[in-house]
Amino acid sequence: MLPEEEETINLLMKLPMESLNLDAIAVVTNIYRMAQGLRNKMEQEVLAEYGLSWTSFSILYDLWIGNSIETRKLAESAGVSKPTISNITKTLERKELCYRLTDNRDRRMAYVAITDKGRGVMEDLYPKFHKREVEIASSLSVAEQKKVSGLLRALIKENNF
């Protein structure tokens, strides 16, 4: 342990806490740092060329796979709020990558669908995205990749994420 880490722990131990769980801290810290690096790298090195953010990309991916999806479900799938979906689909619509339509059976509902242009973008972009994905994960062996996915999946499930 580095001396500065020791100092940090001493500071934290003075607080009114039952205990200081260093393993839990490491889990949270590493998860977030990894995700941050992942997102930044993808946005800078893959998505920037298409003017898409990580979330825009993930929404466009959902539309590509699912064809036509309720706004509400897009929010759930991407893990962001409904207003964010409104904003992003608006941006995607301006770029003519998707369009919106209203359900006539229940006029409260709005569906979002991908355009041919959007499909073209994804067909071009996805292979590049996946290539990076593979590169990033390849620091680990296949067995380790399965292991880390499994553990994260358990965390996601137990915490309802």
Q: What residue ranges bind DNA (CB under 7 A)?
A: 40, 43-44, 48, 52-56, 70-72, 79-91, 94, 100, 105-110
Q: How far apart are CA 139 and CA 150, in angstroms?
A: 17
| Smallest distance, DNA to C-beta of residue 63, A | 13
67: left (phi over 0), alpha (psi -120 to 50) or beta: left
Q: Which of residues 4-33 bind a copy of itself (CB under 8 A)?
A: 7-8, 11-12, 15-17, 20-21, 23-28, 30-33
Q: Does 158 bind a copy of itself (CB under 8 A)?
A: yes
d(CA 59, CA 43): 14
Q: Which two tokens stand for residue 82?
A: 């409904």
Show the DSSP H helices in 112-141 as ranges.
116-137
CA 19, distance to chain mean position in Å, is: 32
Which residues, numbered 85-104, are part of the site for a copy of itself (CB under 8 A)? Answer: none
Contacts of 102 (CB under 8 A, 6+ apart): 109, 110, 111
Q: Which residue number, 67 or 102, has a Cβ lying nearer to a copy of itself?
A: 67
* Position 2 contacts a copy of itself (CB under 8 A): no
Tokens linked to 4 = 């500065």
Give min distance, CB of 138 to DNA, in A.
23
Q: Which residues bind a copy of itself (CB under 8 A)?
A: 7-8, 11-12, 15-17, 20-21, 23-28, 30-41, 54, 64-65, 79-80, 123, 126-127, 130-131, 133-134, 136-140, 142, 144-149, 151-161
